[in-house]
Amino acid sequence: MSIFEDITAIQNIIYIVASILFISGIKMLGKEDTAVKGNFLSAFAMFIAVLATIIFIVDPVILLGGILLGAIIGSTIALKVKMTSIPEMVALFNGFGGLATFLIAWSEYNSIPDNYFQYLLVMVTLYIGGVTFTGSLIAYGKLSEKLKVAKTSIVTKIFTTIFYGSILFLIFSILLPFLPELGFNFFTVLLAITLLGGIGFVLPIGGGDMPVVISLLNSFSGIAAAFAGLLLLNNVLIVAGSLVGASGLILTVIMAKAMNRSINNILFVGYASVSKGSSSEEQGEVSPINVADAFLILESASSVLIIPGYGMAVAQAQHVVRELGELLEENGTEVKYGIHPVAGRMPGHMNVLLAEANVPYDVLAEPDDVNPIMDSVDVAVVIGANDVVNPSATEEPGSPIYGMPIIEVHNAKTVFVLKRSMSSGFAGVQNPLFFKQNTRMLFGDAKESIGGLVSEFKD
Amino acid sequence: MEIYALLGFVLILSIYLGLELISKVPSTLHTPLMSGANAISGIALVGALVLSTDSNLQSAIAFLAVLFASINVFGGYLVTNRMLKMFKKK
């Protein structure tokens, strides 16, 4: 055995160890008590996998320089970013992973594939990686509110067309070796149309559907890495990539189920083309309430359930909400938070915001936990949530959101809805909750309203 | 082609393993799981490190691939860790 073979053997053993550590790491990441350790384990796995690879490095100066620069940039962003901006940072990092696989496929294409199967892998890896990259950038723009393009705008329509065109062009590229010579540089076109197609993939998808898209893009980045592993004949890339692909897929399914919609409907149809529900315009009168009266009701409540939504994120009200929760508890009230899986703009968005405001995670309950005990709740406080508490989902078979699992706040004794105006939620469906007998509307900015309640409690 | 059959087997088995491992995740961990998984997808770094650098274009591609995969790895793990540290029990 030559030294070269020895090193390859050692490298493969390290890759197997890294794969096992990745598997345990991601498993531990799925449980609250072990999540931090799981993340460390997978970081360690990454470390040894990279170390084992560096042995064979071709051009140390360029590549180690790349790692160093990437480490500096990545760490700076990760440590400096505000906690509330974490959702969009995750989207951005995800995009960079996609870009890396896109570049790997590009490089392998330039090295001239040995056989058709390799060629096929190059095309598929390039496409998934590229779409993940630009798609994640658009998701980043939407989450950070830097990008505002209407679904119906001409720009969106053009990019959506390019997206479908890019799929056709990918198929064409895959079949190209079987076609007569065409005499134009198809590969440059493929590079460009893939990147533009990624934009068109995410651009038409509305804010409330973002949790699904983000999870799907997450899954894509893993699948792209796994395909790159097939291309480079590297087992640790395949295992780690597949794990990410699987976890992203699970999250995607959880999100889609929480909306009772198919993934196809979310990605390619959207709410707009669902026929408008049967709900009539005449819904009756809403009963507004002011802060002082709301305070009196809250003060005498023995159990309160807080249901946050995207509105809480927009108003950055999580800190005053936590303060209100603490004051209520000091007053002897039992306080819980009802968190809907798709509340907010990404999976677990509300959990991250509330954790940032120091709300312990064991007072956060899922719909299945709070719905059975809803009639014992004295006051349900809905903060900037709409569709996830819309009783049409259980009561009106004609409604576009019928069948979506909701937090059934309308069964609570009293419901406070904190809202800026009477506009409907993301789904564009009128919410009968606002017109129920037991509902009181507290109009205004959520942060100011809650702040008002907090100062009432303090006086 | 035999090697592809073998690696394809590894691919399918790993996806199945992943689906089995993470089927039930508490919603508290949805974002950290995504972010942590996302850091793992930075494993593309291992692929990026072995790319050819035999022309200027190839060197540039390899360098950028390493750079962006590294940002993904370092940023991903650190953000996940920061996020997980926020989650506290009562």
Query: Concatenated DSSP letters for A372-426?
Result: GGGGG-SEEEEES--GGG-THHHH-TTSTTTT-----GGGSSEEEEEESSS---T
Burial category of B22 from C-beta neighbours within 10 Å (exposed 0-12, middle 13-18, buried 19 and up): buried
Same structural domain, A111 and A238: yes
| Cβ-count burial A192-225 (b if 16+ within 10 Å, e if not) | ebbbbbbbbbbbbbbebbbbbbbbbbbbbbbbbb
Same domain, A436 and A382: yes
| Residue A139 contacts residue A258 (beta carbons within 8 Å) | no
Do residue A260 and residue A304 come from a single domain?
no
User: Are the C-beta atoms of B88 and B60 separated by less than 8 Å?
Assistant: no
In a domain, A59, yes or no: no
Contact B72 A94 (CB under 8 A): yes
How close B27 comes to chain A (CA, Å)? Answer: 6
Contacts of A367 in chain B (CB under 8 A): none
CA angle A124, A130, A134 (to 5 degrees): 150
What pLDDT score was predicted for residue A60? 78
B9 belongs to a structural domain = no
Contact B50, A58 (CB under 8 A): yes
Q: What's the pLDDT score for residue A280?
A: 46
Instruction: Give residues with Cβ within 8 angstroms of A163, minimum separation 6.
Output: A196, A197, A198, A199, A200, A201
Distance from CA of B88 to the nearest CA of A (A): 5
Best B41, B54, B74 member to test A by mutation, with max A CBs in 10 Å, is B41
With bands split at pLDDT 50, 70 and 90, how would you rate the model's confidence at B59?
very high
* Domain assignment present for B37: yes
Q: What domain count does chain B have?
A: 1
Task: Classify residue A239: in a domain, yes or no.
Answer: yes
Residues from chain B that touch A87, judged by Cβ atoms under 8 A, are 31
CA distance A240 to A245: 9
How many angstroms separate the Cα of A84 from the Cα of each of A29, A315, A351? 21, 12, 11
Distance CA A60, CA B51 (A): 12
CB nearest A74 (choices: B15, B65, B70): B70
Same domain, residue pair A96 and A185: yes
Angstrom distance (rounded) from CA B83 to CA A110 = 40
Identify whether A58 is part of a domain: no
Decide if B8 is inside a domain.
no
How much is the mean pLDDT over chain A? 89
In a domain, B72, yes or no: yes
Flag whether residue A61 sits within 8 Å of chain B, measured between CB atoms: no
Test B62 with A59 for CB contact under 8 angstroms. Answer: yes
Reply yes or no on whether the pLDDT at A335 is more than 90.
Answer: yes
A153/A188 same-domain check: yes
Q: Does residue A32 lie in a domain region?
A: no
Q: Is the dihedral of CA A390, A333, A377, A347 positive or negative?
A: positive
Of A210, A238, A271, the one marking the end of a domain is: A271
- Identify the pLDDT of residue A58: 62
Pair (A388, A309) in one structural domain: yes
Q: Is residue A57 part of a domain?
A: no
Domain assignment of residue B19, yes or no: no
Helix, strand, coil percent values for chain B (each to nearest 5):
80, 0, 20
Q: What is the pLDDT of residue A273?
A: 44
For residues A151 and A206, the answer to whether their CB atoms sit within 8 Å is yes
pLDDT of residue A125: 97
Between A117 and A83, the higher pLDDT residue: A117
**CB A187 within 8 Å of CB A169:** no
Task: Note the ipTM here.
Answer: 0.95
Residues in A touching B9 (Cβ below 8 Å): none
Query: For chain A, what is the domain count?
Result: 2
Across the interface, which of B3, B19, B42 has its CB nearest the CB of A97?
B42
Condensed to tens digits (0 to 9), the pLDDT of residues A198-257 reads 999 999 887 778 888 999 999 999 999 999 999 999 999 999 999 999 999 999 999 888
Q: What is the mean pLDDT of residues A323-330?
A: 94
Measured from the Cβ of residue A422, the count of other Cβ atoms closer than 10 Å reads 11
Q: Which domain holds residue A385?
A: 291-458
Does residue A334 sit in the same domain as residue A250? Answer: no
Domain assignment present for residue B7? The answer is no
Q: What share of chain A is helix, strand, coil (3-state, %, to 5)?
A: 65, 5, 30
A228/A322 same-domain check: no
Confidence category of residue A279, pLDDT binned at 50, 70, 90:
very low
Residues A327 and A408 in one domain: yes
In-domain check, residue B15 = no
Give the tens place of pLDDT for each residue, A390-430.
998 888 888 888 888 999 999 999 999 998 877 777 777 78
B76: which chain A residues are within 8 Å (Cβ-Cβ)?
74, 78, 90, 93, 97
Do the domain assignments include residue B82?
yes
Dist CA A211 CA A123 (whole Å)? 28
Residues A379 and A440 in one domain: yes
Q: Check which CATH number belongs to the domain holding A322 and give it.
A: 3.40.50.1220
Residues of A with a known catalytic role = 387
Structure tokens that stand for B60 in this block: 């540039």
The model's confidence at residue A4, banded by pLDDT at 50, 70 and 90, is low
The whole-number average pLDDT for the span B22-27 is 83
Spell out the residues 6+ positions from residue A183 whose beta carbon is closer than 8 angstroms to its own.
Answer: none
- Domain-located, residue A22: no
Q: How confident is the model at residue A277 (pLDDT cuts 50, 70, 90)?
A: very low
Closest CA to A86 of A77, A74, A95: A77
Order of strands, sheet of A379-383, starting from the edge strand that comes earlier in the sequence: A364-365, A334-338, A303-308, A379-383, A414-419, A439-443
Give B65's contacts in chain A (Cβ within 8 Å). 66, 99-100, 103-104, 107
Whether the CB of A120 is below 8 Å from some CB of chain B: the reply is no
Residue B43 structural domain:
26-86
Predicted pLDDT at A283: 66
Model pLDDT for residues A55-95, shown as the tens digit of each residue = 766 667 888 899 999 999 999 999 998 877 888 899 999 99
Number of CB atoms found within 10 A of residue A264's CB: 9
How far, CA to CA in Å, does A236 sit from each of A133, A164, A242, A363, B70? 22, 33, 10, 39, 16
Query: Are both A341 and A382 inside the same structural domain?
Result: yes
How much is the pLDDT for B90? 74
Claim to verify: residue A254 and residue A306 sit in the same structural domain = no
